[in-house]
Structures are given as C-alpha cells and as structure tokens.
C-alpha cells in the first residue's frame, strides 16, 4: 500500500500547537508535549499508509481517527491525506462544526 503525501491545514497546525502549548503550561515543562508531538506525527503517518483506519463522520469525505485524548480529522484523495483538525476530545464536541466546514 502506497503512502500518501501528508498535508496539514492551517487549522490543523494551529490546533496541534494549542494542544501542545496547553500541556507545556499545565506541566511546567515540554517533556509531555514532545512525546505527544511524536505520537501525533507517527499516527498521521500511519493513517497515510493505512488510509481507511479511521471512522466515517457525518461530514462528507471526512474521517476521524482517535488517538488517546485526541481526534484526528482527515480527508483522503488519490495522492494526499489532508489533516483538517486535531481535536482534544475533552472539549465541547458541538464546537467541532465551527472548525470543520
């Protein structure tokens, strides 16, 4: 199975930064954020290789893969995997619709 090119939207990048910064402030250091960042990158690479590992959502073409406390929302086409959002699942789920258009 061929690995797709990974594209992160601006919203995905901002959401990842927000999550990582939260843990830096929460823990007083960046150790956990570094581990989480590596884990998210590895998970996204796994999704790029095994495209349909996530579940379908009610948004057309958008799938979601749950990794720990985070949900990775992504879309596939022939050659790319587009990550639209990384969501902390402890947040209000009603707000997801604001970010996923």
CATH code of the domain containing 71: 3.30.2310.20
Helices (H), the chain: 10-27, 31-49, 96-99
How does pLDDT run across 35-93, given as a tens digit for each residue?
A: 999 999 999 999 999 988 899 999 899 999 999 999 999 999 989 999 999 999 888 88
Number of structural domains, the chain?
Answer: 1
The predicted pLDDT at position 52 comes to 87
How does pLDDT run across 6-23, given as a tens digit for each residue?
A: 999 999 999 999 999 999
Q: Is the pLDDT of residue 2 over 80?
A: no
Residue 91 domain boundaries: 5-99
The Cα–Cα gap between 72 and 16 comes to 10
The predicted pLDDT at position 46 comes to 94
């Amino acid at each position: 199975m061929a690995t797709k090119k990974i594209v992160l939207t601006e919203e995905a990048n901002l959401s990842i930064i927000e999550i990582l910064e939260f843990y830096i402030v929460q823990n007083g250091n960046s150790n956990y954020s570094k581990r989480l960042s590596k884990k998210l990158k590895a998970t996204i690479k796994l999704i790029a290789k095994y495209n349909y590992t996530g579940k379908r959502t009610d948004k057309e073409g958008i799938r979601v893969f749950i990794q720990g406390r985070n949900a990775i929302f992504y879309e596939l086409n022939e050659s790319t995997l587009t990550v639209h959002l990384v969501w902390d699942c402890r947040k209000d789920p009603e707000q997801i619709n604001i970010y996923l258009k």
